[in-house]
Chain A
Amino acid sequence: MNSSLERSRRIRTIGIYAFFIVGCVIMIFPFVWMFLTSFKTVEESMIVPPTILPAEWQTKNFQDAMASLPFLSLYKNTALMVFWRVVCAVVFSSMAGYAFAKLRFKGKNILFSLVLIQMMLPSQIFITPQYQMLAKLGLTNTVFALVFPGLVSAFGTFFLRQAYLGIPDEIAEAAYLDGCNQWQTFVKVMAPLTKASMAALAVFTAVFAYGDLMWPLIVNTDLNMMTLSSGLATLRGQFSTNFPVMMAGSLLAMIPMVILYLFFQKQFIEGVAMTGGK
């Protein structure tokens, strides 16, 4: 009895591992293939059946990709866009989330309904007028333009309001009795208690800002002001048949985020799981 139970458990475990091994191959193979292709010559990439490892590990594709795209600028633009969007989302949403959750003031519900309206509408409905505002002000092709739609975050406000609602009122009252004013109570006592939620919002904002394609494509058409995503779209147009160069470009575009992911894998996944359902 016991040994048959043991055996069926072992078979189950083997089945699960088999599933995961097949799954991992399917998930990882495209990246391996991208990596290997990026070191092959165009001629070698067109051999049928394909070679697995490059005959010679040459870096010409990376040079070509960097020659047609200003990758340093793209890294800088993307990093600044992600950084400012994260800072704005976390700071402004914390302030508003705290006020909506804990402070009493007239018109609170009406103002909060603005947050809900924004959350219900898909972002594409704002794009054309947002672009026209920037164009009128002559602010296209700037880092500010990239950050613009992310200056405030309705989702972040909603999410951090939930976090503050979960903190008992007594804590804020105690801080107030200790002589803190509203701002001090918020900054010194309440905000630190939402650290996990702020981190989750930061990860969520960063991942989606980094992957965003339509907005950077529309608003910054100057090659030096593009992000990694919109730069890749341009590279695709230039090297439509030269796959090794495109693989090199894609590899260069994904490396910074993948390295961050390797170090903060747990924070990434938990952050997204916490903010999940958006």
Chain B
Amino acid sequence: MANVKAKASRHAKSESMWGYLMVAPTVIGLLVLNIYPFLDTIKLSFSKTRPFGLYELRGIENYIEMFSSPEFWRANLNTIYFCILTVPLGIFLALVVAVMLNAKIKGRTFFRAVFFLPMVVAPAAVAMVWKWMFNTEYGIINTLLAHKVNWITDPNIVMVTCAIVAVWSAIGYDAVLLLSGLQNISKSYYEAASLDGATKLQQFFHITLPMVSPTLFVVLIMRLMSSIKVYDLIYMLVEESNPALTNAQSLMYLFYRESFVTGNRGLGSSVVIWTVALIGLVTVVQFWGQKKWVNYEV
């Protein structure tokens, strides 16, 4: 009896030793790579950059500078505008594609692969082609429109251009996620509905949409977060010498320029902290709002 107990306690001891050993790389990594930098960014946002990589704590000076900068408020507007342009349309189109991919037709694997293609191509390369196609003088899009639209340099249009490219890039990814949600819906619901004489459209609104709403919610949250953090597409489409930059600069673009082009890391850090707060706020609102439309009773 005592022997068994001793063995059990030795087992527990070795179990906790292995536990610590196995989480050690990840925990140490997280502390060094994430937790410390997170706290350091907060500190930086209250500091002024000095030469030789030194910092001086300056209270809320950076935040005052940030809140009184028109460029910052413009970046907020641009980011929100980008979200409004891309998120609803992008998710709607992705849902349409997902519903189509869920139909029993030949070649759906091929179609799925085609829509997913932009995901495996680096955003930098994607942006380059679109920049060429949107070129004012020689771009194929203006040729087809027979009209010289300044897609990239007109301050009023540039965000629409970025949004088109963003929606085109993300549609396949979102559709694949939504498709896996659709495939979880049991066929028996549809069979019962058609026996009751429901049309396809009625079936979509009364079966498909409520049943896929949890997946739709996940995609919405994810898309919204990544749209608030948008950087690479806009950076590649709108270079710093572009006259429309002020109207296209997102919060993360502003962060990049402040921190690594201008070298004002304190202010840059304030911008990041602000963006994190914004993402947090949007997420809380989403989770609060989901009760009204997401259906978990399956």
Contact = CB atoms under 8 A, between A and B. Distances in A.
27 contacts: A20-B107, A23-B111, A31-B121, A50-B140, A95-B25, A103-B18, A104-B15, A115-B30, A121-B38, A124-B229, A128-B40, A129-B41, A133-B37, A151-B33, A152-B26, A186-B22, A213-B122, A213-B123, A229-B124, A229-B232, A233-B235, A250-B124, A253-B122, A254-B121, A261-B120, A266-B109, A276-B218
B207 interface: no
B19 interface: yes
B177 A254 contact: no
Interface string A236-277: 110010010011011101100110110001101100110011
A95 B26 contact: yes
A148 B33 contact: yes
Contacts of B225: 122
Interface stretch (B56-64, B75-83, B130-138, B288-296): B130-138
Given A96-B23, A211-B232, A240-B239, A129 B140 contact: no
Interface of A: 12-13, 16-17, 19-20, 23-24, 26-28, 30-31, 33-34, 37, 45-50, 92-93, 95-96, 98-100, 103-106, 108, 111, 114-115, 117-118, 121-122, 124-133, 135-136, 148-149, 151-152, 154, 157, 181-183, 186, 207, 210-211, 213-214, 217-218, 228-230, 232-233, 236-237, 240, 243, 246-247, 249-251, 253-254, 257-258, 260-261, 265-266, 268-269, 272-273, 276-278
Query: Shortest 7 CB-CB distances between A and B: which pairs?
Result: A152-B29, A105-B19, A129-B37, A105-B16, A96-B26, A182-B18, A129-B40
Given A100-B23, A276-B177, 8 more contacts: A16-B100, A37-B132, A124-B255, A128-B272, A129-B36, A133-B32, A149-B33, A243-B132
Interface stretch (B84-92, B153-161, B185-193, B273-281): B273-281
A16 B34 contact: no
A261 B44 contact: no
A105 B269 CA distance: 37
Contacts of B103: 12-13, 16
Contacts of B100: 16, 19-20
Contacts of B126: 30
A contact patch SS: helix
Contact of A228 (B25, B29, B122): B122
B8 to A, nearest CB: 12
Contacts of B31: 114
Nearest to B121: A254
Nearest to A119: B34
Nearest to B171: A27
B163 interface: no
B19 A257 contact: no
B151 interface: no
A213 B121 contact: no
B105 A128 contact: no
Nearest to B222: A277
B22 A13 contact: no
B150 interface: no
A217 B17 CA distance: 41
A100 to B, nearest CB: 7
Contact of B25 (A104, A152, A268): A152
B219 interface: yes
Nearest to B279: A122
A243 B37 contact: no
B198 interface: no
A269 B113 contact: yes
Contacts of B36: 129
Given A16-B100, A104-B15, A272 B35 contact: no
Given A258-B120, A277-B177, A277-B218, A122 B229 contact: yes
A104 B37 contact: no
Contacts of B18: 99, 103, 182-183, 186
A229 B122 contact: yes
A253 B236 CA distance: 14
B177 to A, nearest CB: 4
B231 to A, nearest CB: 6
Contact of A236 (B114, B138, B236): B236
A45 B276 contact: no
Contacts of B231: 124, 213-214
Contacts of A46: 137-138
Contact of A265 (B20, B113, B135, B272): B113
A142 to B, nearest CB: 16
Contact of A115 (B26, B53, B117, B133): B26
Contact of B116 (A133, A186, A268): A268
A130 B275 contact: no
Given A122-B229, A276-B180, A24 B124 contact: no
Given A16-B103, A126-B37, A105 B123 contact: no
Contacts of B218: 276-277
Among B20, B30, B179, B268, find the residue whose CB has the most chain A CB atoms closer than 10 A: B30
Contact of A31 (B33, B109, B129, B268): B129
B252 A124 contact: yes
